[in-house]
Amino acid sequence: MFLARMVFNDKILGIAAKYLSAVEIDPKTSNQHEFNAVSQLKQIIGEHRKDFETNFLYLDDLENTIEASGKLTWYDARENHATRTEHRIYYKKNPVISKATEGDLIVFIVLSPDKMLVIIAPRQSTIESQLLWLFNIKLSKNSLVIKSFEESRFYESEFAGRIILQKIGLEESVQSFDIENLTLARFKTHMPSTKEMASFIQENFSQNYNPEQEADELLLHLMEKEELVFKLLEKIEVEKRLKDRFNSVEEFISYSLSIQNRRKSRAGFAFENHIEFVLQMNKVAFDRGKITENRSKPDFIFPGISEYQNRNFPESRLIMLGAKTTAKDRWRQILSEAKRVDTKHLATIEPAISINQLEEMSYNKVTPVVPEKIRTTYPANSSHIHISFSEFIKMVKEK
């Protein structure tokens, strides 16, 4: 992702999206280097010619990320015509554009009067599904759709929205003075271990939920609070490190990458820790992180590892749950875990997974377990493929 991420503060000027045609990006078809059928962008950026400093981003479900920076030029191709106008966007070739193919989704996010973010996502991918869901866009083959951020679904499901925004290099600006005071009183400026952090979150932010009736809500609430606390402490730590300055560009890049990697790692551990807590509050029997066979270590085994290792215990009563904050192609990692369990379950908070990926998971006997508020972002025709966290707990208790 971008080393310097933009802080999102509700001031995005507008969003536009369309599917790419061959004439726009395929050098075998045309070398025009222009995005066509974009005249509706006049609603956001006006009619006069202008240049935009632009970040380009290509994302796919295999976690291939390509970034580039450059300029886009907005102009009227018929500016000398007395009555007709035909606005286009001119671009110079870059690695992101070169990766694009006909039918891919392109999203233009106008960040300011002279800055833009352009995202390209493969057709029928999960990232395409997420962008269309977040920005509340329905596209036909050749149309450009314009939206304001106020029309997005971010306010409908802020947690899901934040996940998607972070993927495209935008950080939401969030402040909670109550949480800040509580956090600093406990940890000062020290970044605690993942276990310490989870215990702090669970002790302070779980009281208003009935874990047996509101398992989905509780799990998502704990994850939201953990994200806020972590980012507060991370901000303090990073600002201090920036004041100390860096000796080289390489040192800065190395530090930046370490921050990104820590975010991913801690998010995964936090998810497992809070799943464990909600299961315990529901008095569910399980073991966490035990070796089954061939060094395989599934996240959760039900009712426990001793039952799993007991060949006389019915396989039909064994359940395995993997936990991955993001699914993408990583869900395949659980296929080789817990061989005695035929159908695997995968807890995730990945929003708006595409119908193609959900069907592929179902074909491989993987059932996503998703907090209900995230689950509402999934395709309407996929409800039979995934279950809520509460439904999963009920199933475990019945077995």
Q: Which tens digit of pLDDT belongs to each residue from 291-310?
A: 998 889 999 999 999 999 99
Bridge partners, residue 346, by sequence: 322, 368
Is there a single domain that holds both residue 104 and residue 181? no
- Which helix (H) or strand (E) element contains residue 334? none
Region label for 124, one of left (φ > 0), alpha (ψ between -120 and 50) or beta (otherwise): left
Q: Give per-residue pLDDT as tens, 113-165.
A: 999 999 999 999 999 999 999 999 999 877 899 999 988 988 778 889 888 99
Q: And the tokens for 169?
A: 């290099």
Q: Sorting pLDDT into bands at 50, 70 and 90, what band is 5?
A: very low
Q: Give per-residue pLDDT as tens, 62-86.
A: 878 899 999 999 998 776 665 577 7
Domain assignment of residue 1, yes or no = no
Average pLDDT, the chain: 90
Is there a single domain that holds both residue 137 and residue 188? no
Give the CA-trace dihedral at 334, 335, 339, 341, to 10 degrees: 80
State whether residue 200 is helix, strand or coil. helix
Q: Among 118, 74, 116, 91, which residue's Cα sits nearest to residue 27?
A: 91
Q: And the tokens for 138?
A: 């329905």
Is there a single domain that holds both residue 265 and residue 325? no
Please answer whether residues 16 and 40 qualify as being in contact, where contact means their C-beta atoms are separated by less than 8 angstroms: yes
Is there a single domain that holds both residue 121 and residue 243? no
Its pTM stands at 0.89
Q: Does the pLDDT value for residue 2 go beyond 50?
A: no
Q: Does the pLDDT value for residue 8 go beyond 60?
A: no
Is there a single domain that holds both residue 20 and residue 148? yes
Q: What one-character DSSP code corresponds to residue 303?
A: S
Give me the domain span that covers residue 374: 287-398
Q: Does the pLDDT value for residue 344 go beyond 50?
A: yes
CB-count exposure of residue 270 (10 Å: 0-12, 13-18, 19+): buried
Please answer whether residues 282 and 210 qualify as being in contact, where contact means their C-beta atoms are separated by less than 8 angstroms: no
As for how many domains the chain has, the answer is 3
Q: Give the list of residues 6+ apart from residue 298 with CB closer than 8 angstroms, or none.
A: 290, 292, 320, 321, 322, 334, 337, 338
